Amino acid sequence: MIQSKFQFEVWIFFPQYVMKELTIQTVFTVYDALDQTPREVQALMEKAIAARNTAYAPYSRFRVGAALLLDNGEVVVGSNQENAAYPSGLCAERVAIFQAGALYPNAVITTLVITAASETNPTLSPIPPCGACRQSIAEYEFRQDTPIAIYFMGEKGVVYQSESIANLLPLTFDKTSL
């Protein structure tokens, strides 16, 4: 009985702790197949699939390819590159983004497409960028002050599209956080 009264008094004693709930809504366009996406995206995805085939993935056997379309018309591709000393490898998305930044520092990335396939299991669900890649994409969106349209898929099937990395990383850490 005394213990119950004590718990009740603690509850009353700390009424200044008010919680608010933050709801964040994300929006994706879902295509049932690659051939339903815009032709430009289909062509870009074909380049990402070709890049996926160049992945160096002897450990995970999970191959990822990415392709970027820049506002100057250039296409930059990347594939994941693994290393026995984890996490020294690099994901396909960052390979492509960093290469674009190095080769075309003033170009704007307009579109990013990603495809992934496992050598051991069917990859039929869309595979989104990992957290580190999301942060890198966010940095480039912030840097260029323009959203990047992102399309991602497995080896075939459904394709998800996001108008910006904000849908995949809604609480972004950027230079304004420093």
The annotation places the binding site at 80-86, 91, 130, 133
- Name 67's Cβ contacts closer than 8 Å, sequence gap at least 6: 44, 45, 47, 48, 51, 75, 76, 77, 78, 96, 112, 113
The annotation places the binding site for substrate at 80-86
- Name 139's Cβ contacts closer than 8 Å, sequence gap at least 6: 174
Which residues are marked as active site? Answer: 93
The annotation places the binding site for Zn(2+) at 91, 130, 133
